[in-house]
Structure 1
Amino acid sequence: MTGRVVWTVPVGASPSSVHELADALRRATDGSGPAVRPVAAAGPTASVPDTPVPDGVAVVVATSGSSGDAKHVLLTAEALRASASATERRLGGPGRWLLALPAEHVAGVQVVLRALLAGAAPVVQDLTGGFRPDGFASAATELPVRARRYTSLVPTQIARILDTGPGAPLDSLVSFDAVLVGGAALDPGLRRRAEDAGVSVVTTYGMSETCGGCVYDGVALDGVTVDIESPDPTGAGRIVLGGAVVAAGYIDPVDDNGAFDGGRFRTGDLGRLDGGRLTVLGRVDDMINTGGEKVAPAAVERALLGVPGVRAACVTGLDDAEWGQIVAALVVADGGADDDTLRSAVRSASGRAAVPRVLRRVERIPERGIGKPDRAAVARLLSGDGSDTLRTR
């Protein structure tokens, strides 16, 4: 087997750095340049095994590592083009893109490639000082007035823009024909706020191994298959994704562990199909077994987020000598959402076993990657001395 060279491209937060990456990605996908591995210029650069990648691979991208060590995913030019083309068709045709995400992650890479497919490099928000709503509004003014407008954001960015209230940032967000939201679950309350303000929200589900989002608002993109492996009596089981968007594998075969099978990717997520629409229930490994009953953290999070005043929530299981595991939750909430209300909402939605035995309020949920909760850090916070926790069901 012949192989391609991998060129590691440090990517900064400035527009000029992203445009250099865009040129490298263009050449990688048309075959005129080496495969590209984007990395954060300011962060540590994890080593990639000194082995060639298969012909056809255009991009090597690291997973977020939110549920373990990061893996390096092999994305072919064919898969990347299939993903970008399917997105373009679903959104209603070609348009201009604004990049407001770190370009070293798959979501950022895809914004760049979608823009190139549509015939123009993306407009890039300068993220040198972090994401700022006013910076988003300023960048949006560089987009042509009559062109269709697209962007991709994480829920935290949506919330920050909405929190600024009426003004240029919100007006800019409303001007987009589609705002793809991924990286973490978008809670229903935040989606309602955004849609009530006139934002054209499209939730996305996918991962680095599927060239990013491949299921939009619960419906698979053209050419993408969604199956539920070994569903239980409720229809819930492991989500398996297939189609041209699936990666060629990992750069280190030991990372595979059966994840890639016959052109399909066995995700680490639980889901349910209802009339062809996918509902993601949470990570397989995150399921909590408390007193012999299984609790899905995502279901508890949805119940908490449905309480007025709750702005964010993250649920995990903690080891417990009596129950095996107990349900524990970090909550970002305004003062009006008292503990009894939070417990009652969970009990009504998911049953007594799902009510958090440990409940802690924080100013923000720890994150890693682009808007993903850092569940290891959440577990550490929830395993504290319990002085400000509720431990009764």
Structure 2
Amino acid sequence: MIHANTPAWRRATLALCLGSMLVFINLYAPQPLLPLLRDTHDASTLKTGLVMSLATLTLALSLLVYGPLSDAIGRGGIMRVSLSVAALATLLAAFAPGLDWLLAARVLQGVALGGLPAVAIAWMGDEFSPEAMSRAVGLYIAANTLGGIGGRVLGGVVGEWYGVQASFVAVGGLTLVGVAVFWWLLPAASAFSSQPFRLGRACRQMRGHLANPWLLPAYLIGGLNFLVFINQYSYMTFRLAEAPFALGPRWLGLLFLTYLGGTLGSMLSARVVARAGAPATMGLGVVIMVLALGLSLMPVLAVIIAALTLSAFGFFLCHATASGWVGRQAREGRGGASALYLVFYYLGASLGPLWLEPFWLWRGWPGVVAASWLVLATTGWLSWRLGKRLQRAQHQCVVERRLEHV
């Protein structure tokens, strides 16, 4: 068992954070290029958005395989191999001759990128003490945000100066170097207990996770919040590429520095949970997102940047809490439980345009905000219900302990 603040904990946490950054660099590097891709290929907003949503969709579906598979064969090998394949898929995307071929490369990329996020938190659950895991999860989620920032900034800057192809080449080359470091840093697992893979048992475990009243609300909160959060950036790039802002890919990439608000939110999540509890922390994150969306309606670039920063803080405060909650509440098949959270998470991202696009075509950005508020009303209610359930369970435990001493 690895304990917090030991050399082994630092090395393992650094490896997983690096891997997380590589995943999200590759996943989100094309996002600031969406207006450029739309104009280059004369495509609709919805089809151009498939560059993001197809990768997140295939990533989500791959998690259904990686999670149970990792319970059988181990988690370290899956993370190492999948990151290597993802780097090669990114280089293939660089030489796609058209938008359809680029979409096909993104499908392959999404499948490969699913390996690490499917099992990283389960790896922590196997190897780390509860305190060590709580601290590591916050840092790991913070690394997600740094990867998202880095990928978008790198993609936008290189894409504006040297073109889309050079952007993918730069990301792929950087990933190959990072993968080599990841292989070296990640320690061998010592506490993993293999469970032979059986499809029937895996399906039963998945059904059990979905029927678990402690897990399902967290799955829905993560997926629906991400539906709003990630797609607000996609539609914001289209908004800011038009007059009166007229920002190019380089500046749209720098817009994602607002993710630093999410880095802070992730790092503070463990402290907030210790004071207020996990359900209340999730609800707080939702409320902050609601307020930030309202602020984003103002047609002032500085205010929009502040709103996106605040939204990132609220989202990642909630996301870090929800993902850690799943890792703690799962009693068996932890890899499958964590993977199922991410299935909901990325399905939300990939299906978001289907929900938001009609509102965008109807009223532009105010329509996107209205559609987002409807979704966040649902996740706020789910957080409140989960908090009520936790209060009842804690009260029942107190009553039972008193009866034991009577």
Q: Report the TM range for the smaller structure's normalisation.
A: under 0.3
**TM-score when normalising by structure 2:** 0.23
Higher strand share: 1
**TM-score when normalising by structure 1:** 0.23
